[in-house]
Amino acid sequence: MNVRAAREYVADALEAQGFHGDTEVALLLTSELVTNAVRHAATPFEITVDVDPDRVRVSVIDEDVDHGPRVRHPAPDDTNGRGLLLVEQLSAVWGSDRVGPGKSVWFTLPSAAGVR
């Protein structure tokens, strides 16, 4: 799965589960987490999307145990390194958990009106 396919998967899951929040932010943050999984973990990954009446939680689960997520504060002229900073600033909550042989990096966003 690539970043575009991941975004499409999450968009479809949000619609199917009745998410009434900021879908564009959810897709942006998904892009950042998937990009990190592709660039840094370089292992297969999966995505889960869980919507409840108050929020959505999107998780990207990979098999890399050596690279936990770290927020960087890049210099103004750096061309990368802002992904987790965006996740930190735009999500309600984010974090990572050890899962099986790897980790899950996730974020939550509020649902504006709950599920349908």
DSSP the chain: --HHHHHHHHHHHHHHTT--S-HHHHHHHHHHHHHHIIIII-S-EEEEEEE-SSEEEEEEEES-SS---------TT-SS--HHHHHHHHSSEEEEEEETTEEEEEEEEE-SS---
Q: What is the average per-residue pLDDT within 96-112?
A: 88
The band of 41, judged by pLDDT with boundaries at 50, 70 and 90, is confident
Q: Does 67 score more than 80 pLDDT? A: no
Q: Which residue has the higher pLDDT, 107 or 18?
A: 107
Calculate mean pLDDT across residues 75-102: 78
State mean pLDDT over 37-59.
Answer: 89
Q: Distance between terminal CA atoms of the chain?
A: 29
Three-state secondary structure readout of 74-97: CCCCCCCCCHHHHHHHHCCEEEEE
Level-2 CATH architecture, domain 3-110: 2-Layer Sandwich (3.30)
| Mean pLDDT over the full length of the chain | 83
pTM score of the predicted model: 0.83
